[in-house]
Amino acid sequence: MSIRTKFYVIIACATLLPQGALAQREDAMTLTYDGRFPQNEELCGLAIETISKSVMLNRQNGTPLSEAMSQARETDELFDFNDTVKDMVLAAYEFPTMNSTEGKLDASEDFANVWVNACHRAQR
């Protein structure tokens, strides 16, 4: 496992796993009272994967941090994610941009895989 991937894992776990004591609402994808995401495949497989790829691609394509944080706030509010997307943005901006298109796509795939993994682990 590369150092970059290890860092992604640490950031994702630190963000997703300890967010406890929140009640799940019917109309939102929040954590349950014991700090786990509701058993919802779409949450990890669609929402978290799509959002995390987008976050890293924005980073790789030079989106300013202030703009990315503004988008993250809107997404967190829309999905009631309790600042998860803001944490994703901050994690993504810890890494340099890649020069090649392939490098940018690889970085976004690696980043998404770590967040999806942490999401699935949080559901167990």
Give the pLDDT confidence score for residue 119 in this predicted structure. 84
Give the pLDDT confidence score for residue 103 in this predicted structure. 96
User: Model's pTM, two decimal places?
Assistant: 0.68
Please give the full DSSP string across the chain, using - where no structure is assigned: --HHHHHHHHHHHHHHTT--S-PPPTTS----TTS---S-HHIIIIIIHHHHHHHHHHHHTT--HHHHHHHHHHHHHHHT-TTHHHHHHHHHTTSPPPSSHHHHHHHHHHHHHHHHHHHHHHH-
Please report, for the chain, the start and end positions of each structural domain, with discontinuous segments joined by +. 3-123
Give the pLDDT confidence score for residue 23 in this predicted structure. 31
Give the pLDDT confidence score for residue 102 in this predicted structure. 96
Residues of the chain with pLDDT under 50: 1, 5-10, 13-14, 17-29
Give the pLDDT confidence score for residue 19 in this predicted structure. 40
Give the pLDDT confidence score for residue 93 in this predicted structure. 96
